[in-house]
């Protein structure tokens, strides 16, 4: 085994491409086996576009009470408002303040925690939406 050992300088010389003039202290930038490089800095990918909700054919906004997959807690989902994501977030904030509860906007659907269908229906009608109850 003693005969198989080589020095670090010999090993680096074997890794260098033929005709390369770089020394052991300088990193080889043209290495084809380069896996990771910080040369270009952070890569900023475009965030995915926010979903714009689609309206139903009759133009009504659906208010649905859901408990499935939510640990038995009631959640209202409001769908059918054809507005950009930013406007849905503002509308959800208004509804959450008036209902004194939490909620979120996911994939163009506003979720309001709790079962406050009557209050949400009144608030949406005051905003000028035609509403329908859907589901249970």
User: Does the residue 107 lie in any domain?
Assistant: yes
CB proximity list for 84: less than 8 A, separation 6 or greater = 50, 52
Q: Does some domain include residue 94?
A: yes
User: Which runs of E-coded beta strand occur in 30-102?
Assistant: 61-66, 75-79
* pLDDT surpasses 90 at 104: yes
Q: Is residue 88 domain-resident?
A: yes
Number of domains within the chain: 1
Q: How many CB atoms lie within 10 A of CB 110?
A: 25
Residues 6+ apart with CB under 8 A from 124: 61, 63, 78, 95, 131
CATH number of the structural domain spanning residue 107 = 3.30.780.10
Does a structural domain hold residue 75? yes
* pLDDT tens per residue, range 25-49: 455 455 556 566 566 666 667 776 6
Please determine, for residue 60, whether its predicted confidence score (pLDDT) is greater than 70.
yes
Say how many C-beta atoms besides its own lie within 10 A of residue 83's C-beta: 14
Residues 75-94: tens digit of each pLDDT: 999 999 988 899 999 999 99
Residue 82 in domain? yes
Query: Domain containing 107: what range?
Result: 61-135
Residue 65 lies in a domain: yes
Q: Classify residue 90: in a domain, yes or no.
A: yes
Q: Is residue 126 part of a domain?
A: yes
Whether the pTM exceeds 0.75: the reply is no
């Amino acid at each position: 085994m003693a005969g198989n050992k080589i020095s670090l300088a010999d090993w680096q010389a074997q890794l260098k491409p033929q005709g390369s003039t770089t020394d052991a202290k300088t990193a080889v930038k043209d290495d084809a086996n380069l896996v990771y490089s910080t040369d270009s800095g952070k890569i900023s990918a475009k965030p995915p576009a926010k979903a714009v909700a689609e309206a139903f054919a009759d133009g009504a906004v659906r208010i649905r009470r859901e408990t499935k997959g939510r640990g038995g807690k009631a959640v209202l989902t409001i769908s059918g408002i054809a507005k950009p994501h930013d406007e849905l977030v503002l509308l959800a904030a208004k509804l959450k303040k008036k209902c004194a509860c939490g909620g979120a906007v996911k994939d163009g659907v506003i979720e309001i925690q709790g079962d406050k269908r009557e209050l949400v229906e009144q608030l949406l009608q005051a905003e000028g939406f035609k509403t329908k109850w859907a589901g249970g």
